């Protein structure tokens, strides 16, 4: 599988097998499903973000804890079919403003999930094949990423479009720092800035022709008003890539979307027109009466 | 049913191995469908059956079934 070509990926595989045998097939599954392109992307990401063995081991520990937490919450959701009641401020204190939690678990976990969770990886391929390709073809000059998280999509965008500049927003100081680090490690920081802002409550005058907002809606108490604000940020004639997680019980998910139609209806109510969408389940449905977590991505104008 | 019998039943049910022997040295490497989902399902089932709630860090430290026995005892479950 490795042939000496992917030393970081090989180490990642060894850590899983040795330390977390119940995740021992993760890398093999990725290779089988997505092949060499995937392996090259993971290798690059690991080399850029976790250069030393110690950093990689720590990131894997964070990822495993993050993934186990998600799986345990999902298992409880299977019975309740509701997210536990939480306010945005509660989540912000517990997660976004909790640097230790963000740096140890959430951000490394989320970043690795972009490569290691098949539905997350498929969604980033959808982003690359559609939205990012349009940006390249149309010679996009600037973009806004609303809710940068790890900065994964900002970084992909900056890397694909050599003349573009970008602005990211996030309410979490740890996300801002991590996104900037990722962009800097790929030597792209001269074209990017990340700003601390609560996009639901604090005003911004920013406008763009290219808007990204991935996996933020389900983190909010009132995603419709957030979408109405995004509609103002996106200039008429501009294009947006907006995604949401459905039936996915995570520590910071507040608003439960049960199907893609609920997201679609809010997008339309906020004034967007839908060009295309893709919905991807996290795994094969296990039982007909248990909702399967999904990610859904919309390209809107 | 003793606690040990209940535990064996959970492992067999989740891993879909009706004849599984629960030896302390058994790990996920030894059972083909013991993936992360099954791992968490075992833990969640045990939490429900025995009325305990594990700290995430505790259950990440479990390397084999023997570690899980010790953890359960630490949470007051007699085996
Ligand atoms: C799941 S992450 C986003 C994932 C990210 N787009 C990526 O692709 O890695 C959610 C992010 O939204 C941010 N967020 C949540 N509510 C927000 C708000 N009201 N304003 C700004 N950022 C917010 C959180 O701090 C977190 O970093």
| Nearest CA among B63, B75, B48 for reference residue A64 | B63
Measured between alpha carbons, how far is A291 from A258 in angstroms, rounded to an integer? Answer: 8
Residue B42 is assigned to a structural domain of this protein: yes
CB-CB contact of A230 with A213 (8 Å)? yes
Is pLDDT at B58 greater than 90 in this prediction?
A: no
Instruction: Select the residue from A13, A14, A17, A22 to test the B interface by mutation, using most B Cβ atoms within 10 A.
Output: A22
Per-residue pLDDT at B32 exceeds 90: no
On whether any CB of chain B is under 8 Å from the CB of A65, the answer is yes
Confidence of residue B73 (pLDDT cuts 50, 70, 90): very high
How far apart (Å, rounded) are the C-alpha atoms in residues A81 and A88?
20
Look at residues A227, A243, A247 and name the one whose alpha carbon lies nearest to residue A122.
A243
Q: Which residue of B has its CA nearest to A25?
A: B35
For residue A67, the chain B residues in CB contact (below 8 A) are 36
Question: Is the pLDDT score of B62 beyond 90?
Answer: no
Cβ contact, residue pair A65, B38, below 8 Å: no
User: What residue in A sits closest to B38 (Cα-Cα)?
Assistant: A22
According to DSSP, the residues that pair with A212 across neighbouring strands are: A145, A241
Q: Tell if the CB–CB gap between B29 and A21 is shorter than 8 Å.
A: yes
Question: Between these two residues, B55 and A211, which has the higher pLDDT value?
Answer: A211
The pLDDT score that the predictor gives to residue B60 is 83
At A24-39, the pLDDT tens digits run 999 999 999 999 999 9
Compute the C-alpha angle A285/A287/A291, nearest 5°: 65
Tell me whether residues B28 and A68 touch, CB distance under 8 A: no
Per-residue confidence at A242, pLDDT binned at 50, 70, 90?
Answer: very high
Residue B79 is assigned to a structural domain of this protein: no
Q: What is the DSSP string of A1-63?
A: --TTS-HHHHHHHHHHHHH-GGGTTHHHHHHHHHHHHHHHHHHHHHHHH--SHHHHHHHHHHH
**Which residues touch A258 (CB under 8 Å, ≥6 apart)?**
A246, A247, A291
A156-213 pLDDT, tens per residue? 999 999 999 999 999 999 999 999 999 999 999 999 999 999 999 999 999 999 999 9
Q: Is residue A220 over pLDDT 90?
A: yes
pLDDT of residue A46: 98
Considering the entire predicted model, what is its pTM? 0.94
CATH number of the domain within which B18 lies: 1.10.1200.10
**Tokens for A266?**
């809010």
Residue B17 forms part of a structural domain:
yes
Angstrom CA distances, A189 to A150, A167, A184, stand at 14, 11, 5
Per the prediction, chain B carries an average pLDDT of 91
Domain coordinates in residue numbering, chain A: 7-115, 118-300
The total number of structural domains in chain B stands at: 1
- Contact between residue B39 and residue B33 where contact means Cβ atoms under 8 Å apart: no
In this complex, is the C-beta atom of A274 within 8 Å of any C-beta atom belonging to chain B? no
Residue B10 counted as domain residue: yes
pLDDT at A167 (0 to 100): 98
Q: What's the pLDDT score for residue B31?
A: 92
Which of B32, B33, B42, B44 is the best substitution to test chain A (most A C-beta atoms within 10 A)?
A: B44
Q: Are the Cβ atoms of B38 and A22 closer than 8 angstroms?
A: yes
For ligand 1, atom 25, which residue shows the shortest CA distance?
A172
> What are residue A244's DSSP bridge partners?
A296
Whose CA is closest to A166, among A114, A93, A241, A104? Answer: A241
The pLDDT of residue A280 is: 97
- Domain A118-300 = CATH 3.40.50.360: no
Where is pLDDT greater, at B37 or A170? A170
For all residues of chain A together, what is the average pLDDT? 96
With an 8 Å Cβ cutoff, are B36 and A22 in contact? Answer: yes
Range of the domain at B9: 3-74
Whether residue A222 has pLDDT greater than 90: yes
Ligand 1 site residues (CB inside 6 A) read A 96, 110, 147-150, 152-153, 169-172, 175, 198-200, 214-216, 219-220
Q: How far is CA A33 from CA A21, A39, A118, A197, A226, in A?
A: 20, 11, 8, 38, 36
pLDDT for B37 equals 84
pLDDT value of position B1 = 87
Specify whether the CB–CB gap between A163 and A136 falls below 8 A: no
């Amino acid at each position: 599988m490795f042939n000496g070509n992917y030393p970081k990926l090989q180490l990642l595989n060894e850590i899983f097998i040795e330390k977390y045998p119940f995740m021992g097939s993760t890398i093999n599954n990725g290779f089988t499903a997505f092949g060499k392109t995937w392996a090259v992307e993971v290798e690059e990401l690991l080399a850029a973000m976790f250069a030393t063995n110690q950093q990689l081991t720590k990131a894997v520990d964070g990822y495993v804890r993050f993934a186990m937490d998600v799986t345990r919450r999902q298992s409880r959701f299977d019975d309740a079919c509701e997210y536990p009641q939480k306010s945005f401020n509660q989540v912000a204190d517990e997660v976004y403003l909790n640097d230790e939690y963000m740096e140890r678990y959430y951000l490394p976990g989320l970043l690795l999930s972009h490569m290691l969770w098949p539905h997350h990886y498929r969604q980033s391929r959808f982003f690359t094949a559609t939205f990012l390709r349009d940006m390249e073809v149309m010679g996009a000059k600037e973009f806004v990423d609303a809710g940068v998280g790890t900065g994964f999509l900002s970084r992909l965008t900056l890397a694909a479009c050599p003349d573009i500049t970008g602005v990211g927003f996030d309410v979490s100081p740890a996300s801002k720092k991590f996104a900037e680090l990722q962009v800097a490690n790929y030597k792209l920081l001269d074209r990017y800035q990340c700003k601390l802002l609560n996009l639901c409550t604090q005003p911004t005058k920013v406008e763009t022709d290219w808007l990204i907002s991935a996996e933020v809606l389900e983190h909010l108490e009132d995603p419709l008003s957030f979408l109405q604000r995004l509609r103002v940020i996106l200039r008429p004639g501009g294009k947006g890539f907006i995604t949401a997680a459905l039936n996915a019980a995570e520590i910071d998910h507040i608003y439960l979307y049960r199907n893609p139609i609920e997201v679609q209806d809010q997008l339309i109510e906020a004034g967007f027109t839908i060009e295309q969408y893709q919905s991807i389940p996290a795994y094969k449905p296990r039982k007909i009466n248990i909702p399967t977590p999904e990610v859904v991505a919309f390209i809107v104008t | 049913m003793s606690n040990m019998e209940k535990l064996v039943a959970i492992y067999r049910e989740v891993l879909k191995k009706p004849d599984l022997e629960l030896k302390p040295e058994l790990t996920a490497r030894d059972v083909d469908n013991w993936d992360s989902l099954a791992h968490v399902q075992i833990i969640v089932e045990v939490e429900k059956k025995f009325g305990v709630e594990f700290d995430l860090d505790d259950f990440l430290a479990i390397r084999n079934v023997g570690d899980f026995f010790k953890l359960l005892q630490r949470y007051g479950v007699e085996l």
